[in-house]
Structures are given as structure tokens and as C-alpha cells.
Amino acid sequence: MRRVVITGLGVVSPIGCGRDAYWGALSEGRNGVGGITLFNTEGHTARIAAEVRGFDVEPWLDKKEARRTDRVIHFVIPASDMALKDSGIDLGSVDPNKFGVYIGSGEGGITTTHENYDILKEKGPSRVSPFFVPMMLSNMPAAYVAMRFGAKGPNMAVVTACSTATHCMGEAAYAIIRDDADIMLVGGVEAAITPIAIAGFANMKALSTRNDEPEKASRPFDLDRDGFVMGEGAGILLFEELEHAKKRGAHIYAEVTGYGNTCDAYHITAPDPEGDGSIRAMRTAMKKAGWNPEQVDLYNAHGTSTPLNDKTESGAIRAVFGSHAGKLPVHSTKSMIGHCLGAAGAVETIAALLAVERGVIHPTINYEKPDPECNINVVANSAIERRVDRALINNAGFGGHNGVLAIERLRD
């Protein structure tokens, strides 16, 4: 069977852009949450987010192109370019028909939607941008990346809320295994820090309102958590068929060895309290990888900092890993970068891959008061040095979608 490896990483995040800047901030436990600057928060109950601040898109998009594209494009093109450059691949030597793109976005071009609705109300239908529709579509990041880099192979934008990027990665691995593609740019992108999105999530009591202490707001598995913090950014990875990568002497971060995809079929927003869908997705990914629970060295948690998710996920970890749950290092990248929604699985997989490569597990910051109902082995507040050969990345989305990816240090 064809094997799938990861050879390139690109990231735009609230704590750093590019692999090394991102990793440096993660390993230091640097906080990326602050007061919202992208819009006037007067009247909002949640006034904090993890924004990508001071990022200049002009090296990748000229001013005219930037005006005609949504903020998701401003993130996804640079992250994709970073992943390709990190891989060292020569696209001129790649068959474009075997070069695919699976990149999703949970909210799509929501900034464009919000802005053009305001224009419609204030100035009438004739003033709505002719670029509105292509700017707001959730498939446009995948399409735009394909056009920019000449990828004529399989192209898809999975949209499963906060499992989006994980499902994009898992399905992309299958595309390579079945010989539809040799290389795939995969991952997710999100730019949903907008008045309507913040208000909507806040009104359903999902967001933290720790506005006076934004640096303390995202606190997965902590007893005093009060909701997630909205994040934004893009995580893009280059997946490649193993022999294709070896032939060109590529640096290989790890191999994708398992993938689980299930649904709770329970509730539009709440997870199944028994964690059934998450448990089945984890077990499926590990079965496909050929792992026993005791062989897993790192669990990158969905870890949203919401009361329901963290409690349910902790129960699922104990159910899947049994006695090993007390030893298994668990961390949440969201403690530093907030919840990047459809991009979450990709930026978190990048964190896990760098743990495999560098032997350091980044911390879960703001873990100050352990929740007895989240009785797991949280890597708290400081990074630890630990060899990581196998890592499991878990994500869950509204609607009951569960996605789990298993990655492993390449075996000889």
C-alpha cells in the first residue's frame, strides 16, 4: 500500500508566522490572546480574541488582489507557500494532475459576508461587490491555492466545523493512498473574528468573557474555565507519497498512519456526554495505525476550554487509554492561540509534528486549578522534554463531527 508522509509545514498564527516562529512561541508557552482590534466591541459581552496581528500579506498578494480577496485568502496563500518552501519541492518536476489540494474553512469568507450585508442595508443592492460571492465561498481557499500553485489534481474543501482541517488531512491521505495524487497541500484556514460571529458564539455561552484578563482566558481542563477564545489563522501541510518523497531526498517530519472519522448523531452543538463518537474515532485511527493504547506518546487535545468539551474529552481519553491515561502527556494548543475553528486541526497537527521532530512537548498554559472531572495527565504551564514517536490529534465540531489523525515517526 502507498504510504503518506509529511514533508512541509506552513503556519500563520496569533503567536507567530512560519514554522520556527510558531514553534518558538509554543515551546515558551507564549499567550496570543488580547483585546479585539478588528472591530469596535462596544456592546459585546466577549471582547477578546487571538488575532493575527501585524501580518503583512503584500509579499504574497499585491494591493489590488488583497482588496478582492477575503482575509482567509490572506492567510492561506502565505501558509501554503511556506509549506511548499519548507518541503524543498520543485513544482516544475511535479505532474500537476497528481498535485491536489484539500483545504477547508468552517466559516469561509465571513468578513466579506458581514461587510457586504452592511453595504446592502446602507447603500442598496447595486453597491454589493461583484466579487462578493467568490470572496465568501468556503471552497475558495482550496481553489485559490490550486490556481496559485498550478495544482490540477483532486481538490476539495471539507467543511465540518471545528473538525474541518482534520478531515481534510485524513481524506487527503486516502487520496494519495489510492493513487489519485502524489502530493497534496492540506489543512485549514479561518478568519472569523467578526462582530456577528463573536456575538453569535457569545450568545450561546460558548465564549470566555474574561475580558479583563485576556492572557488567562483560554484555560483548557482548568476548573475555572468559562469558554473558548476565538482564534484565527491557517495551518497548511504538504502530504507526499513516501517513495516520491524519498526519490527527491525530502526531509520527512512523520508518517500519517491512521485516521478516524465519526459522528455523535446526538446534538447540534453539545458533545455526546458519553464521548461515544470521539472514542470510536480514536480507536479507529489507532487500529488503522496498528497501535496499542500504551504505544501513544502524545495526545494533542481538542481542549477548547469549554466546560462540556473538556469534561467529555477527558472521559473519552480515560475510556480509550485505560491505565495509560495517567501517563499519557496531554496538551492543548488552544491555550495559547485560541480556537481557530476550521483551521484548528492543522495548526495543532503542526504542533504535534514538531514535538515528534524536536523531542519537546509544548505546555497547556493557564492550568492552575485542576478540574477533578478532567482527571488526565495535562502538560501544565511549562514544556517538557520527551521523545515522541507516536501522536494522536483529536478534533470535534458542532453537529457531532469527530476527526482523529495518527502520526508516527517514520519507520525504516
Is 216 in the same domain as 272?
no
Chain-centre distance for alpha carbon 356:
17
**pLDDT for 68-78, tens place per residue?**
999 999 999 99
**pLDDT for 4-42, tens place per residue?**
999 999 999 999 999 999 999 999 999 999 999 999 999
Domain of 348, CATH number, reads: 3.40.47.10
Is 219 in the same domain as 364?
no
Which residue among 216, 247, 278 closes a domain? 247
pTM exceeds 0.95, yes or no: yes
The total number of residues written for the chain in this structure: 412
- DSSP secondary structure string, 47-73? -EEB---S---TTTS-HHHHHTS-HHH
Is 186 in the same domain as 235?
yes
Q: How far apart are CA 379 and CA 351, in angstroms?
A: 14
Which residue among 228, 247, 266 closes a domain? 247
Contact 339/207 with Cβ under 8 angstroms?
A: no
Contact 329/386 with Cβ under 8 angstroms?
A: yes
Q: How far apart are CA 66 and CA 78, in angstroms?
A: 12
Active site residues: 162, 302, 339
Is 319 in the same domain as 199?
no
Which residue among 179, 212, 247 closes a domain? 247
Is 107 in the same domain as 241?
yes
Contact 29/215 with Cβ under 8 angstroms?
A: no
Q: Chain-wide mean pLDDT for the chain? A: 97
**pLDDT for 296-349, tens place per residue?**
999 999 999 999 999 999 999 999 999 999 999 999 999 999 999 999 999 999
Q: Which residues form the domain of 66?
A: 4-247
Pairing label, strands 48-49, 34-35: antiparallel
Is 91 in the same domain as 217?
yes
Q: How far apart are CA 217 and CA 225, in angstroms?
A: 7
Q: How far apart are CA 364 and CA 220, in angstroms?
A: 7
Domain count, the chain: 2
On whether residue 280 sits in a domain, the answer given is: yes
Q: How far apart are CA 276 and CA 269, in angstroms?
A: 15
**pLDDT for 346-375, tens place per residue?**
999 999 999 999 999 999 999 999 999 999
Is 100 in the same domain as 224?
yes
